[in-house]
Every structure is written in structure tokens, then in C-alpha cells.
């Protein structure tokens, strides 16, 4: 195997390091080398590529350059994240990616939980008429069949719960199958892995819904290496988990039991950045069958370097981000509000690093505006923010590596403690 090219990682526990600037590789690799995780060092979603105006090839090249510098001889992965269309697949496959994350969120029917019995039945009938279940009825496939998941529990669909699962995820799984076929065609003759993600939905994925997705994937012949449910609790960008740790662990045990029974495949934790309170639980319950995906937190750590080495630039970025926040927040689930941003003023903040890079409100303001900062933002002197940021990071590469290594070592150490 050529260690300079990405490959499949199998059921080895893994960690994804998203890099929106192309300079985080040395810090990512330094942290990962301390722990027993397979690293995914090229990871970018189509949305992130568009927002940062980078190409899939540029992301791949940055990872390869960093790995070559340390003479890496270990397998590593490249994640084509949140793919929605055949063109998305083609774009990433042509760049050599090996790990393909299918995002069917456009086909998930979040309203299923509130539908009446008649509405559910009408929707299922339309699905069946459209051939979603290949000529079978939903009930004939799964109704009142007993599924022995583990020694601890069995699962069985009642008619109502089956219809709600089918309405919510039936079209989504159908889309997963179509996307898997696109991936197979584009990767003909080489190894690849598929992850499916239903984490960007309004309500948590129940164990029965997880089972339905897994059964449908198996029936359709779609093999996955990992699946990302929407776990209980709140997974806001750039901040720690919000919710009951006890409930998270209880439901996680059921999800991993399904993953072992129906795969085995890994459980994938998206929006995984900085979810420190649940890492020991996730590591202990999942063992090797886990994948964690991070992205925005590396950008925030880069801004920590900017704050320490070029405070005027950092202040300009934060002012610009505050102005962009009301627009850029649209695609995110956040606690910070427009009112919080309106109340900001540098003269009111005693410790800028603590507020913007350690506290939730500041982190979220900077996190969600990364695309605007890196594509359209400019300094008062006319220089593009992205150019100024990259110049600073290259000038202070040792500090950049140091802060990233420390930050991700904390992630990986807590996951390993489980």
C-alpha cells in the first residue's frame, strides 16, 4: 500500500479531522499519533468546499503534503462528506476519496411524528405505489416480526410505529441506495467505504427507526461501514453536548447493539467537535465501533493563533462575523441569538480569548460565519481575511501545530478513556 494515498479503514475506530484552511495537517497528525485511532485527514463536505472556495483536490493535496512531511506509513482515510447528488459523488471520487458519506436529509420527512393515522397510511400507500419497497408492502416486510437484537432486548414494530418509521425514512433509504450505486460506478475497480448519515434531522433517531434503516439497507444490498443517527440531546456546533448523559448512554447502548447485530458497522458522531462530556461514554459503549467527525473546531483553533499573534486582525474578524451572523446562522442549530450579538462590544469583554474561543456564545459566532470570513471578508486595508489568516498561520506554524495538537489530544484522550 502507498501510504501517501488514502485507503479504506474497515471497522477500526476512527477520527475525522476536517481542515478548512489546508494548514491544520501537522497538528492533526501529531495528536493522532499519540492514540490508537485510524485518522481521516482529508475531510470536507460539499457545503464546506463551496463556502471556502476550495476544490476536493486541494483538500486531498494538503493532507498528503502533511503526511509526507512526517513520512507517514500508516493507513489513513479521505472523507467525501455529506454527499447529496450524483455530481457530488463524481466530484469527490475523481479526487481519490475513499470514504463516502451519504446525506439523505432532503428526503427525511420530519413531520412523520405528528401525522395522523390516515395521513401515515396515505403516505405509505403512495410510497408502495411508487415502488419504494420493490413491489412489497411495508407491513409484509416488517410488521409484528420479532427482532432479537441482543440478550438484553428485542424489538418489534407495531403498525403505527412501522408506518412512522417508513414515512420518516422510506424515501431517505431509497435515496441512499441510489447514491450507493453512483459510488459503486464511480469507484469501479478500487476500494471504498460508505457511511450513511441521518443526524441532520429535527428529532432523535429512535431505536426502531435505526432498525428500520438498517433492515432496509440490508434488503437493498447496501453495505455500510458506519451510520450516523441523530442522537438524543443537542449537538450544537463548536460547543459541548447539551442534555442528559444518562439518557444518552442508555440509548447509545441500544444503538450500538443494533449496529453489531445488523452489520457490524460503526456508529458515527457528527458535529463531534468539542463534545467532551460524552466522549468517555461513546468510547466505552462503542469500543472499536466508533467514528467521530470534527471540522469547525480546527478553524476556531486557527483563530486562537491569530488572536495571540495579530490581535488587530482578530478584532476585525470578530466584528465582521458579528455582522454576518444573522444571515449565516440560517443552516445551523444554535443557542446564541441575534440579540446576544447585538450586545457585543470589545470594550465590554475583559478577556477576548476566553469569550470568543472558550465560551459557547463567542465560539458559535465565529464558527457559523467561517464561510463569509474565508470567501468575502476583507480587512480595513482591503486585504482578504483568508490571505491574512494564512499568512499568519504560516508565519507561526509551530504555534498553530501546538494548539491543534493540544486540542485534539484532549478529544482523543477522552474517547480512549472509555
Per-residue pLDDT tens over the stretch 388-412 = 999 999 999 999 999 999 999 999 9
Instruction: Give the containing element (helix H, strand E) for 267.
Output: strand 266-269
The answer regarding whether domain 14-109+159-296+407-417 maps to CATH 3.20.20.70 reads: yes
Residues 77 and 195 sit within 8 Å (Cβ to Cβ): no
Q: What is the mean pLDDT of residues 110-137?
A: 97
d(CA 153, CA 306): 52
Q: For 282-299, b where at least 16 C-beta lie within 10 A, e where not — what string?
A: bbebbeebbbbbbbbbbb
* Statement: residue 74 has pLDDT above 90: yes
* Statement: residue 1 has pLDDT above 60: no
Residues 69 and 26 sit within 8 Å (Cβ to Cβ): yes
* Statement: residue 417 has pLDDT above 90: no
d(CA 125, CA 98): 38
Asked which of 24-28, 121-125, 173-177, 238-242 is least confident by mean pLDDT, the reply is 238-242
Q: Where are the domains of the chain?
A: 14-109+159-296+407-417, 298-403
The predicted structure's pLDDT at residue 237:
87
Residues 149 and 257 sit within 8 Å (Cβ to Cβ): yes
Grid coordinates given for 232: 438524543
* CA 233 distance to own-chain centroid: 16
Q: Which residue has the higher pLDDT, 202 or 28?
A: 28
Grid coordinates given for 134: 420493490
* Paired sense of beta strands 99-102 and 14-17, if any: unpaired
Largest CA distance in the chain: 68
From residue 45, give the alpha-carbon distance in Å to each of 81, 194, 344. Answer: 4, 14, 31
Say what angle helices 360-368 and 296-309 make with each other, to 10 degrees.
100
Peptide bond between residue 264 and the one before it cis (omega within 30 degrees of 0): yes
Tell me the catalytic residues. Answer: 81, 195
Residues 198 and 109 sit within 8 Å (Cβ to Cβ): no
Helices (H), ranges, 187-271: 207-219, 245-262
Q: What is the mean pLDDT of residues 286-302?
A: 97
Residues 77 and 8 sit within 8 Å (Cβ to Cβ): yes
Which single residue is written with the C-alpha cell 499573534?
A: 309
Of 114, 19, 35, which Cα lies nearest the Cα of 279?
35
Of 407, 232, 171, 376, which Cα lies nearest the Cα of 305?
407
The predicted structure's pLDDT at residue 238:
87
pLDDT band per the 50, 70, 90 thresholds, residue 344: confident
Main-chain dihedrals φ then ψ at residue 299, nearest 5 degrees: -65, -40
The predicted structure's pLDDT at residue 2:
52
Say what angle helices 86-93 and 159-186 make with each other, to 10 degrees.
40
The DSSP line for 168-185 is HHHHHHHHHHHHHHHHHH
102-122 confidence digits (pLDDT tens): 999 999 999 999 999 999 999
Amino acid at each position: 500500500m502507498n501510504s501517501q494515498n488514502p485507503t479504506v479503514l474497515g471497522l477500526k475506530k476512527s477520527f475525522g479531522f476536517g481542515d478548512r484552511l489546508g494548514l491544520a495537517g501537522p497538528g492533526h497528525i501529531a495528536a493522532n499519533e499519540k492514540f490508537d485511532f485510524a485518522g481521516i485527514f482529508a475531510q470536507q463536505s460539499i457545503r464546506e468546499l463551496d463556502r471556502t472556495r476550495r476544490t476536493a483536490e486541494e483538500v486531498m493535496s494538503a493532507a498528503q503534503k502533511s503526511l509526507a512531511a512526517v513520512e507517514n506509513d500508516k493507513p489513513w482515510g479521505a472523507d467525501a462528506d455529506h454527499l447529496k447528488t450524483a455530481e457530488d459523488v463524481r466530484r469527490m471520487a475523481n479526487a481519490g476519496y475513499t470514504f463516502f458519506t451519504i446525506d439523505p436529509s432532503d428526503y427525511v420527512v420530519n413531520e412523520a411524528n405528528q401525522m395522523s393515522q390516515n395521513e401515515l397510511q396515505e403516505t405509505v400507500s403512495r410510497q408502495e405505489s411508487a415502488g419504494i419497497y420493490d413491489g412489497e408492502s411495508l407491513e409484509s416486510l416488517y410488521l409484528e416480526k420479532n427482532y432479537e437484537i441482543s440478550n438484553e432486548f428485542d424489538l418489534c414494530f407495531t403498525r403505527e410505529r412501522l408506518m412512522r418509521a417508513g414515512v420518516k425514512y422510506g424515501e431517505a433509504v431509497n435515496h441512499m441506495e441510489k447514491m450507493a450505486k453512483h459510488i459503486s460506478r464511480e469507484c469501479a475497480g478500487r476500494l471504498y467505504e460508505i457511511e450513511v448519515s441521518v443526524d441532520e434531522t429535527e428529532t432523535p433517531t429512535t431505536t426502531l427507526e435505526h432498525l428500520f434503516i438498517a433492515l432496509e439497507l440490508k434488503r437493498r444490498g447496501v453495505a455500510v461501514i458506519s451510520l450516523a443517527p441523530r442522537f438524543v440531546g443537542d449537538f450544537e456546533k463548536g460547543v459541548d453536548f447539551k442534555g442528559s448523559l444518562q439518557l444518552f448512554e442508555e440509548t447509545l447502548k441500544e444503538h450500538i447493539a443494533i449496529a453489531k447485530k445488523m452489520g457490524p458497522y460503526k456508529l458515527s458522531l457528527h458535529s463531534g467537535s468539542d463534545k467532551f462530556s460524552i466522549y468517555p461514554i461513546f468510547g466505552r459503549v462503542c469500543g472499536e465501533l466508533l467514528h467521530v467527525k470534527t471540522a469547525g473546531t480546527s478553524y476556531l483553533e486557527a483563530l486562537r493563533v491569530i488572536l495571540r499573534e495579530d490581535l488587530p486582525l482578530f478584532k476585525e474578524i470578530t466584528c465582521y462575523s458579528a455582522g454576518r451572523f444573522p444571515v449565516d446562522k440560517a443552516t445551523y442549530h444554535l443557542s446564541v441569538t441575534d440579540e446576544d450579538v447585538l450586545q457585543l462590544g470589545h470594550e465590554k469583554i475583559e478577556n477576548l480569548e476566553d469569550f470568543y474561543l472558550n465560551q459557547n456564545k463567542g465560539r458559535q459566532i465565529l464558527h457559523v460565519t467561517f464561510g463569509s470570513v474565508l470567501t468575502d471578508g476583507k480587512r480595513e486595508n482591503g486585504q482578504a481575511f483568508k490571505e491574512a489568516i494564512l499568512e499568519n498561520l504560516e508565519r507561526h506554524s509551530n504555534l498553530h501545530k501546538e494548539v491543534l495538537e493540544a486540542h485534539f489530544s484532549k478529544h482523543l484522550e477522552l474517547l480512549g478513556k472509555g
